[in-house]
Amino acid sequence: MKLKVLVAAGDGIGPEVTGEAERILRSVAEWGGHDFEFRKELIGGVAIKAHGTPLPPATLDAALESDAVLLGAVGGNEFNSLPPDRRPEAGLLQIRQALGGFANLRPAFAHPALAANSPLRPEVIDGADIIFVRELLGGLYFGEPRQWNRETNSAWNTMRYTRDEVARVARIAFQLAQKRRKKLTSVDKANVLEVSQLWRTTVTEVAKDFPDVTLEHQYVDAMSMHLMNTPRTYDVVLTENLFGDILSDESAVITGSLGMLPSATIGGQVNLYEPVHGSAPDIAGKGIANPLGAILTAAMLLRHSANLEQDAQAIETAVRKVLEQGYRTADLARSEKDKKMVLSTQAMGKQVHEALNEISDKRQAMHAV
């Protein structure tokens, strides 16, 4: 397997966590006999400082020439005074648009070893395993017209979707559901919004092509409550852009930390992978950031861009084993027992690397029998 990966580490803790994810990918390439080529370019605040723009042409060109893009995080308080179209976050929106990925996959899962980290009761989250499919290129974030008119003290945004935009992301959600528990929950606000009425109608039409998947509809306000009360009842959750942003972040309480959650943006020319957490500038450079979200993001990269399902599962198993052994980063250490097992960013990455090597050794031994 040959794979060209652009690593755009970005700002804050981005370089620290993507460094650990890259090391894991290199290890997979080594023991799997794969040819992974890594290239590094700037994005976000570091790109603004070096080139005056959050997405330099060299970064975009490298992304379009790659098979996958591994992103760290963008943003920092020092850039808040810039106009919105010149801030680090603008570079993220621009690269998403340029790569064309319209489906953002964001898992939310309960690790038994981290049950105490969630504010929800263990019996509520036990076995929860959800994947959000968030439409990423439409809705309020991209709809026109949009404006803040300071003279009239008024502002407006436009929520806009076409049938084709809804249908294409719905198909990805149904295809994922076919590979999982064959249940899909579509989230909207069809009792109020015309856009949601189009959304619900279109998803219902697409469902006819997937008779093996059970479809249910939920209003977003009800879903926000059900997600906390009965998360185990959900499998694949399909949402538009704004609702997906909010609900998938809310679901982080199931896992206990945003630092654990990966994501993938697929459907375009090149897939984009990034952990859900932000740049966390307050802890950048301290070596205490949780790299597990980035490492699990690397697993999604192998699954969706390299079709290396076994290798992706091996990474996920390695992460689970490390947590079961009691190792924690600072954000995961809630009890006195946890605090005795706190590791730095690099040390946690090393533990996952060692667990992955053990899995590799066992796999090779089985092949040799």
From the candidates 61, 126, 209, 221, give the one annotated as an active-site residue: 221
| Residue 245 falls in the annotated catalytic set | yes
282 among known catalytic residues: no
d(CA 54, CA 46): 8
DSSP 51-91: HSSSS-HHHHHHHHTSSEEEEEE---GGGTTS-GGGSHHHH
Catalytic residue among 11, 188, 235, 245, which? 245
Q: Which residue has the tokens 């939920």?
A: 218
Give yes or no: 219 in active site. no
Is residue 249 among the annotated active site residues?
yes
CA-to-CA separations, 53 to 83, 99, 134, 359, in angstroms, rounded: 12, 18, 27, 43
CA contacts within 13 A on the Cβ side of 181: 14
Instruction: Please check whether residue 141 is in contact with residue 190, taking contact to mean a CB–CB distance below 8 angstroms.
Output: no
Annotated catalytic residue 189:
yes
The two tokens of residue 330 are 């600072």
Q: What are the start-end ranges of the H helices in 189-291?
A: 194-207, 220-229, 241-250, 252-255
List the one residue out of 312, 318, 314 whose CA is nearest residue 300: 312
Work out whether the CA dihedral 220, 142, 278, 80 comes out positive or negative.
negative
How many residues comprise the chain?
369
- Say which of 141, 183, 219, 350 is annotated catalytic: 141
The first and second tokens of residue 216, run together, are 């249910």
Of 33, 40, 41, residue with least CA distance to 2: 33
Q: Which of 188, 189, 311, 331 is catalytic?
A: 189
Q: Which of 129, 182, 249, 350 is catalytic?
A: 249
Q: Which residues are catalytic?
A: 141, 189, 221, 245, 249
